[in-house]
Amino acid sequence: MDRKKGQPDSTDWVIRSVQPGGIERIEAWFGSHGYDPHRHDTYSIGRTLAGVQSFHYVGSLRHGIPGNTLVLHPDELHDGMAGTDAGFRYRMAYIDPAMIQNILGGEPLPFITGGLSNDPRLFHASETFVQAVDHPLEALEQQDALYDLAMALRAVAGKPRGRKRLDYRAAELARAFILEHLDSCITLEMLECASGRERWSLSRDFRTLYGTSPYRFVTLRRLDRFRSLVVEGFTLVDAALVAGFHDQSHMTRHFTRCYGIPPMRWLERLRAAR
């Protein structure tokens, strides 16, 4: 899946790898503008391979260079662009906060200030996830790496931000309910019944534990389904409807907000890497 050596970087491209039940990983090259401001509901853990990777994050312009570790917190607004005329190449892994919570057991998610770190603990702990995307991760390899990453995030972030008294069990019940009922019109009342937790307390805990709101979590899971379908060859219209959106325009609005580019442009970049 890796790009052939010697092939010119004249077109923006993205190579994507998603193992069943695993972690989405990409390698990409951009000559100038990469993405408009957007937010993921995952940790974005990455490494700049060449050039300067610039992005606005928490009110400042940051510059990732080889040797840094990028750690973007779930649901934090950011964009992406080349910091010089030479363009930039990078790898990124998108890690579900629930995977980190399985290890931390209900602590507020660690937050790495500034989105960049030179800490060797994070550099080494993220190494597994920023291998070439044609290297599939074995189950035990991924589990070991997730543990190391969770411990490094906790150590480097220091004191957790957010509320200390959290009902992790209730939030996990709500999360499981959402995943089982993505085809339904989910409400906070339904999540309250499923979790046994008062709806507004549940909503606050969910945000602290998983980095995003219940509604955003639902939307991103539907977009995950949409992306899988269009890669398989579904039309944008059909994939949008099957994934649970009202129509294509409804899906496109959410897609652009979440990924920083329209869905057709996202597909074009994937095709350019082939």
pLDDT tens readout for residues 63-121: 999 999 999 999 999 999 999 999 999 999 999 999 999 999 999 999 999 999 999 99
What's the whole-model pTM score? Answer: 0.89
**What pLDDT is attached to residue 18?**
86
Please give the DSSP secondary-structure letter assigned to residue 54: E
d(CA 99, CA 71): 15
Q: What number of CA atoms fall less than 13 Å from residue 143's CA on the CB side? A: 5
**What pLDDT is attached to residue 165?**
80
**Backbone phi and psi for residue 3, each to the nearest 5 degrees, phi listed first:** -70, 140
**Backbone phi and psi for residue 88, each to the nearest 5 degrees, phi listed first:** -150, 155
Q: How far is CA 223 from the centre of its chain?
A: 12
Order of strands, edge to edge, in the sheet holding 43-51?
Answer: 13-18, 24-30, 88-95, 43-51, 69-72, 116-117
CA distances from 90 to 8, 65, 200 (A): 16, 9, 39
pLDDT tens readout for residues 157-173: 987 655 568 999 999 99
Q: Are strands 13-18 and 43-51 parallel, antiparallel or unpaired?
A: unpaired
**What pLDDT is attached to residue 32?**
94
**What pLDDT is attached to residue 22?**
78
Rg, C-alpha atoms of the chain = 18
d(CA 264, CA 274): 16
Q: Which amino acid is residue 132, in one-letter code?
A: A
d(CA 243, CA 228): 10
How much is the mean pLDDT over the chain? Answer: 92
Q: Are strands 13-18 and 60-64 parallel, antiparallel or unpaired?
A: unpaired
pLDDT tens readout for residues 185-238: 999 999 999 999 999 999 999 999 999 999 999 999 999 999 999 999 999 999
- Which alpha helices (H) appear in the chain, and where do they start and end? 97-104, 120-125, 139-157, 168-180, 188-195, 199-210, 214-232, 236-243, 248-259, 263-272
Q: Shortest CA distance to 223 belongs to which of 204, 247, 199, 239?
A: 239
d(CA 20, CA 51): 32
